Structure 1
Amino acid sequence: MALHFEPALAEDLDTLFALRMEVMREHLVRLGLTDTQVSRARYDQQCKDGAIQHILHEGERVGFVQLVPSGDHLHLVQLFLRREAQGAGLGAMVVGWAKSHGQDLTLTTLKLSPANRFYLRHGFVQTGEGEFDNEYRWSPPRNAQA
């Protein structure tokens, strides 16, 4: 079950935002964050970093990921899978791909989202908490003989 990635283009951004909102809507509502304009502004700001990749499984676009350099680590800005693609191990494969870069990874998740459990299961450690988000970090195993 191989995944492939292809760069997202500027004309894809509206479709990707719609996917993001579909996946996050129920969690945003639980937190009282129902202003779509605020969500769009945050998304547009994140997209300025570029590096958005479509996630393809068996030739079909099933989601997108954005992994960007940030100082001494990589930041997993966004990882979204269509609902029907969730629960099949694809998210774990994308996280594995991100980890394969061999650098520390950071990310932020929305509070009350199942993504918090997902990232904890995959070795991330919570490093901070904001009003609406949790922050996480993963570090590759260090060579004990350094």
Structure 2
Amino acid sequence: MNLKLEPGTLDDAAHLAELRALAMRPSLERVGRFDAERARQRLLQNFTAEYTRLIKQDGLLAGFLVLRPQDKDLLLDHFYLHPDFQQRGLGSATMELVLAEADTLGKIIHVGALRDSDANRFYLRHGFVLREVAEFDNYYLRYPQHVPLRGV
């Protein structure tokens, strides 16, 4: 799998908002809350290219994530794969890169997922623990794992 994370730019915002709406549609439709315009605007209203990473497989845009500082921790604010790239192991491979980065920094990662989304199982599989259940979302965190010292 030829996976690369590349920095996002302001020019990516509209395209990524469309990708988010596509990726979220099935989960939001299950709970009767899909609104494509609202899904786009939720990303665009606080889009920050500085924390956005494009997920590319074999040079093709497969998805994106937004990993931003939150107090002393990290917030995985967005993590979406285009439907054509789902169920191929790309999400897990990408998450392993994010987790390795957080472990190296010694940071806790926070993330939220729509309660009826398949993302809940995904986060649990990757070592996140449920912190809070809200009306529409579940909130998780993952503590950093021990990173062995090199050369010892």
Q: Secondary structure at the match of 1:87?
A: coil
Paired residues, number = 143
Query: In structure 1, what is the Cα distance between the partners aligned to 2:41 and 2:25?
Result: 15
Structure 1 segment 115-134 matched on structure 2, within 5 A: 115-134=119-138
Alignment of structure 1 residues 1-146 onto 2, 5 Å:
1-48=1-48, 50-101=50-101, 102=103, 103-142=107-146
SS in 2 for 1:47: coil
Q: Give the drift of 1:44.
A: 2.1
Decide whether the 8 Å contact of 1:46 with 1:77 is kept in 2: no
In the alignment, structure 2 segments of 5+ residues that lack a partner are 148-152
**Alpha carbons of structure 1 residues 83 and 38: separation in structure 2 relative to 1, 3 Å:** closer
Kindly provide the CA deviation profile for residues 93-125 of structure 1, in whole angstroms up to 9, marking residues without a partner as x.
111111112121110111111001111111111
In 2, Cα distance between equivalents of 1:49 and 1:73:
19
What TM-score comes out, normalization by structure 1 length?
0.88
Distance 1:8 1:142, change over 3 A: closer
Q: Helix, strand or coil: the match of 1:94?
A: helix
Distance 1:7 1:49 in 2: 8
| Amino acid across the alignment from 2:115 | K
Using the aligned pairs only, state the percent identity.
34
**Once the 2 structures are TM-superposed, how far is the Cα of residue 20 of structure 1 from its aligned partner?**
0.9
Q: Is the 8 A contact 1:124 1:137 kept in 2?
A: yes
Contact kept in structure 1, 2:10 and 2:49, CA below 8 Å:
no
What code does the residue aligned with 2:112 have?
T
- CA RMSD across the alignment: 1.8
